[in-house]
C-alpha cells in the first residue's frame, strides 16, 4: 500500500496526490514570470483569451480521443457556468490585470493568499474546524500580505492597484475552489474544465475587443515560447491536476499546500524577466514557506503511555 500522509482535519494525502502538488507547484510557479514576459508584447486580456482558447481546444481533442463524454447535458450546463465564473473567468481575468501592474513574483505571492479566504469561508459558513496549524498558516500568510502591501504603497514605483486586483483574484479563486469541492457533478471533471475554459475564453475575447486595441500578432521567439507554455502547460496539464485536487482534498490542504508557487515564481523571475526581488519579497516567501510546513508536515504523534 502506498504511503499516505495526514493533513489538517485528519484527512490523509496519498503519494500520488503529493507528487501532483509538486508538479502543480512547478508549473504554476514558472507560469508567473512567463505571463509577465508575454505582457511585454501582448495586452493582458488578449493574452488570456489566446492562451485559454488554444489550451481548451487542445484538451478537447485530447480527451475526446480518449473516449470521454465531451458534451454537457441538461443541468450540467448550469454547473459549467456557475463553477466557471469564479474559477476560470474571474480568477484568470482579474489576476492577469494584477500581473500587469506588479512584479510577477509579488503578484504570485498575493494571488496565493487565496487559502486565507478559503479557510475563513470554510470556518464561517461550511462548518470546518479551525485547527491551530491552519490558524498559524493563515497568520503567517497575513504577515506576508502586509509586508508586500506596505511596500507597494511606499515604493516610488509602487502599484497599490495591482495589490487590489490580486486580492480580488484570490477571493474569487477561494470561492470557486469551495464551490468545486462541494459540487455534485455528473459531468467528468475533464469535460467540466474544458467547457469552463471555452466559455470563459469567449467572454475574454469579447471583453478584450471592447477594452483593448487589436494586436499586431507579430511576436518574438521568446513570446511564442511563452504563449505555448501558457496554452499547453498552464491551461493544459495544470488545470486538470488542480480540478482533481480541489475536489478530493480538504480545502485547507489543497489550497495551502501549493503555496510554494510564489517561491518558484520569485526565483525563476530573476532569470526569465530579470526581476530583482526586494527584502520584503524574501521575507514574505519565508512566511509562506512556514505556512506550507504547518499544512504539509505530518503532525507528531504523541507517545503512548503505559
pLDDT of residue 114: 79
Decide if 306 is inside a domain: no
| Residue 120 to residue 235: CA distance in whole angstroms | 28
Model confidence pLDDT, tens digit, residues 239-262: 777 766 766 766 556 555 566 788
What are the tens digits of pLDDT across the range 147-177? 887 776 666 456 778 888 998 999 998 899 8
What confidence tens digit (pLDDT) does each residue in 51-101 have? Answer: 999 999 999 998 999 899 999 999 999 999 999 999 999 999 999 999 999
Please say whether the beta carbons of 8 and 247 come within 8 A: no
Q: Would you state the pLDDT for residue 24?
A: 85
Contacts of residue 64, Cβ cutoff 8 Å, sequence gap at least 6: 70
Q: Describe the crossing of helices 160-182 and 238-248 by its angle, rounded to 10 degrees.
A: 60
Using pLDDT thresholds of 50, 70 and 90, give the confidence band for residue 144: confident
Q: Is the pLDDT of residue 27 over 60?
A: yes
Q: Is residue 220 part of a domain?
A: yes
How many Å apart are CA 278 and CA 259, to the nearest integer? Answer: 19
Helices (H), 212-297: 221-229, 238-248, 251-256, 261-272, 279-296
pLDDT at res. 135: 82
Range of the domain at 65: 4-224+238-296
What is the per-residue pLDDT for 211?
Answer: 96
- Per-residue pLDDT band at 305 (split at 50, 70, 90): very low
Residue 180 lies in a domain: yes
Residue 253 included in any domain? yes
How much is the pLDDT for 20? 84
111 lies in a domain?
A: yes
Q: What is the DSSP string of 7-21?
A: -GGG-EEEHHHHHHH
Q: Which residue has the higher pLDDT, 3 or 245?
A: 245
* Alpha carbon distance 185, 76 (integer Å): 8
Tell me the whole-structure pTM to 2 decimals: 0.83
Cβ-contact 149, 206 below 8 angstroms: no
Look at residue 199 and tell me if it is in a domain.
Answer: yes
Q: Tell me what pLDDT residue 157 has.
A: 54
233 occurs within a structural domain: no
When computed from its CA atoms, the radius of gyration of the chain, rounded to whole angstroms, is 19
pLDDT score of 210 more than 70 = yes
- Residue 81 covered by a domain: yes
Is the pLDDT assigned to residue 230 strictly greater than 90?
yes
Number of domains in the chain: 1
- pLDDT tens for 272-289 read 999 888 888 889 888 877
Amino acid at each position: 500500500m502506498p504511503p499516505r500522509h495526514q493533513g489538517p482535519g485528519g484527512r490523509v494525502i496519498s503519494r500520488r496526490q503529493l507528487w501532483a502538488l509538486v508538479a502543480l507547484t512547478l508549473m504554476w510557479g514558472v507560469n508567473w514570470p512567463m505571463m509577465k514576459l508575454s505582457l511585454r508584447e501582448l495586452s493582458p486580456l488578449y493574452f488570456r483569451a489566446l492562451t485559454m482558447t488554444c489550451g481548451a481546444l487542445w484538451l478537447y481533442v485530447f480527451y475526446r480521443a480518449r473516449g470521454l463524454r465531451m458534451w454537457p447535458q441538461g443541468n450540467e450546463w448550469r454547473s459549467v457556468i456557475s463553477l466557471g465564473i469564479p474559477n476560470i473567468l474571474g480568477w484568470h481575468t482579474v489576476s492577469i490585470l494584477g500581473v500587469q501592474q506588479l512584479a510577477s513574483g509579488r503578484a504570485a505571492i498575493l494571488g496565493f493568499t487565496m487559502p486565507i479566504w478559503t479557510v475563513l469561508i470554510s470556518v464561517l459558513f461550511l462548518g470546518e474546524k479551525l485547527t491551530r496549524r491552519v490558524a498559524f498558516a493563515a497568520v503567517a500568510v497575513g504577515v506576508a500580505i502586509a509586508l508586500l502591501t506596505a511596500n507597494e504603497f511606499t515604493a516610488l514605483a509602487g502599484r497599490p492597484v495591482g495589490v487590489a486586483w490580486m486580492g480580488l483574484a484570490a477571493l474569487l479563486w477561494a470561492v470557486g475552489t469551495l464551490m468545486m469541492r462541494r459540487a455534485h457533478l455528473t459531468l467528468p471533471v475533464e469535460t467540466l474544465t474544458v467547457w469552463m475554459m471555452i466559455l470563459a475564453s469567449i467572454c475574454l475575447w469579447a471583453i478584450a475587443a471592447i477594452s483593448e486595441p487589436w494586436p499586431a500578432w507579430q511576436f518574438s521567439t521568446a513570446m511564442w515560447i511563452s504563449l505555448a507554455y501558457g496554452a499547453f502547460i498552464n491551461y493544459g496539464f495544470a488545470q486538470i491536476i488542480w480540478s482533481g485536487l480541489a475536489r478530493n482534498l480538504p480545502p485547507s490542504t489543497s489550497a495551502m499546500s501549493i503555496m510554494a508557487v510564489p517561491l518558484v515564481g520569485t526565483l525563476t523571475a530573476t532569470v526569465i524577466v530579470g526581476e530583482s526581488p526586494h527584502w520584503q519579497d524574501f521575507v514574505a516567501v519565508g512566511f509562506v514557506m512556514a505556512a506550507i510546513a504547518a499544512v504539509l508536515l505530518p503532525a507528531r504523534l504523541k507517545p503512548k503511555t503505559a
